[in-house]
Amino acid sequence: DGGITQSPKYLFRKEGQNVTLSCEQNLNHDAMYWYRQDPGQGLRLIYYSQIVNDFQKGDIAEGYSVSREKKESFPLTVTSAQKNPTAFYLCASSTSGTATEAFFGQGTRLTVV
Amino acid sequence: GEDVEQSLFLSVREGDSSVINCTYTDSSSTYLYWYKQEPGAGLQLLTYIFSNMDMKQDQRLTVLLNKKDKHLSLRIADTQTGDSAIYFCAERTWEGGYNKLIFGAGTRLAVHP
C-alpha cells in the first residue's frame, strides 16, 4: 500500500546525544516536510524539501538537520544543540506545484531522559 | 506574516452539530484545509476548499469560507463520539517559490453523551 512511514514510533534520547528520525514515502511525492507538535501549539514547520538534494529551513530549524538524498526519504536529525527536543514529530509529503493535500505519517514521539 | 488562529476547545452533546472556526491572515492562500488528529496519531485530511469557493459539503461535513473576513468554519452534523479528536485548520501559501502549509493550534472537540 502507498503511504508515508515514520520510525520509530517512540524514541528516547539522553541529553547530549544526536538522534535521527526516519521518514519514508512510496507515493512518488516530490515535496516532504517535518513538523514539530507541542501541546496547545499546533504544528510548527522545521524543514521542508521540494526536490531531491534541496531543502529549506522552516520556522524552527535551529538544532535540527535534514538530508534529501533520495526522493523517498527525508530523515530528520535532532542534534544536541536542540535544547528542548521532547515533542511529537510529524513527517508529511505532497506532490509539488498544484498539490491539494499533504499526507502525514503516524508520528514519532521523542523523549529526552 | 502568516497566522492561523483557532479556539482551543469545543464540547458538544452527541447528536448535535459542531462548528469549529478558524481565521487566517494570508489573503493569497489558494487552498484551506481541515485535518483531524486522533490521540497519538498523524493528521488525516478531512476536506479542503479552494479559495474561489464559499461552501463545500461532504456528507456530514460542511465547510464555509468567508474570504472577505478570512474566516473558515467546519460544521459536523450529527456529531458522534468517534468525532472526538483535535481538528486543525491550515492554509497553503506560496513563499520564496515554495508551497508551505501553515497550521492553527488545533481545536480539541469533546463529544459527550
Backbone angles phi, psi at A89, to 5 degrees: -110, 130
Q: Residue B106: list chain A partners with CB under 8 A.
A: 42
The answer to whether residues B7 and A42 touch, using CB atoms and an 8 Å cutoff, is no
Q: Does B41 sit within 8 Å of A107, measured CB to CB?
A: yes
Closest CA of chain A from B43, distance in Å: 6
The answer to whether residues A89 and A72 touch, using CB atoms and an 8 Å cutoff, is no
The predicted pLDDT at position A39 comes to: 81
Q: What is the pLDDT of residues B61-107, one digit of tens each?
A: 999 999 999 999 999 999 999 999 999 999 888 777 777 788 999 99
Closest CA of chain B from A43, distance in Å: 6
pLDDT in tens for each of the 113 residues of chain A?
Answer: 679 999 999 999 998 899 999 999 999 999 999 999 998 778 899 999 989 999 999 989 999 999 999 999 999 999 998 989 999 999 999 886 555 678 899 999 999 98
Among candidate residues B84, B94, B100, the one with its CA nearest the CA of residue B12: B84
The predicted pLDDT at position A76 comes to: 98
The predicted pLDDT at position A88 comes to: 95
Q: Residue A99: list chain B partners with CB under 8 A.
A: 99
Backbone angle region of A100, left / alpha / beta, with phi > 0 → left and psi within -120 to 50 → alpha: alpha
Report the relative pairing of strands B107-112 and B9-13 from DSSP bridges.
parallel
